[in-house]
């Protein structure tokens, strides 16, 4: 093809796009969806431009999408967005304990318990009795069929709860419902 032909094609595409935008604005119709709309939280109805967020905000948004899909039993969406969420966390500098907990939960949704255990070990570096690490450890053991390891993690959680919760870690506050739910479940065992 020649340069002239490429120019004609480019002008035709530009004219078509301009026409679509003009018609959409004249009729108060929404413009065609952008690729960023694929990253909108399920059911939000609003496209989310992840490129306008910090790396951490984008990673957390994708984490929420994976968790929402998991709660809804949408395995296809979990498998679609879990790798994107992990990649987004890989772009974050200086991951905190909250981010490591998120990464562990994402790996748990895909059944990669070896990677969940890696996040447990990282959380134990923050504190050997880190409550979120113990929850992840319990869940990974239970889902892997290791009842003894699950029981040990539950017992360690119960023993550590009172002193750890006093530490007032930001990740404990962010996941207070999960911690309290796990505490209630372990008290009943």
pLDDT digits 0-9 by tens, 114-133:
999 999 999 999 999 999 99
pTM of the model: 0.73
The rounded distance, in Å, linking the Cα atoms of 83 and 72 is 18
Per-residue pLDDT at 97: 96
> What is the model's pLDDT at position 189?
60
Q: What is the DSSP string of 118-177?
A: HHHHHHHHH-TT-HHHHHHHHHHHHHTT-HHHHHHHHHHHHHHHHHHHTT--HHHHHTHH
Q: Helix, strand, coil % (nearest 5) of the chain?
A: 75, 0, 25
Q: What pLDDT sits at residue 48?
A: 63
Q: What residue ranges of the chain have pLDDT lower than 50? A: 1-44
pLDDT given for residue 186 in this prediction: 82
DSSP tag of 53 = S
| Rounded-to-integer distance, Cα 110 and Cα 51, Å | 26
Domains of the chain (ranges, CATH numbers): 95-187 (1.25.40)
134 vs 121: CA distance, rounded Å:
10
DSSP tally for the chain: helices H, then strands E: 9, 0
Residue 19 in tokens:
């026409």
């Amino acid at each position: 093809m020649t340069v002239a032909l490429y120019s004609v094609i480019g002008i035709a595409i530009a004219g078509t796009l301009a026409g679509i935008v003009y018609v959409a604005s004249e009729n108060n119709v929404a413009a065609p969806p952008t690729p960023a709309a694929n990253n909108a939280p399920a059911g939000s109805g609003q496209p989310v431009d992840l490129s306008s967020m910090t790396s951490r905000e984008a990673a957390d948004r994708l984490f929420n999408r994976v968790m929402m899909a998991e709660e809804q039993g949408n395995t296809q969406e979990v498998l679609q967005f879990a790798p994107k969420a992990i990649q987004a966390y890989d772009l974050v500098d200086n991951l905190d304990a909250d981010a490591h907990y998120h990464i562990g939960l994402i790996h748990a949704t895909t059944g990669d318990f070896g990677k969940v255990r890696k996040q447990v070990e990282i959380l134990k570096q923050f504190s050997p009795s880190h409550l979120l690490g113990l929850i992840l450890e319990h869940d990974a053991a239970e889902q892997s069929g290791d009842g003894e390891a699950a029981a040990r993690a539950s017992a360690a959680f119960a023993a550590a709860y009172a002193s750890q919760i006093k530490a007032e870690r930001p990740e404990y506050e962010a996941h207070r419902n999960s911690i309290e739910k796990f505490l209630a479940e372990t008290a009943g065992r």
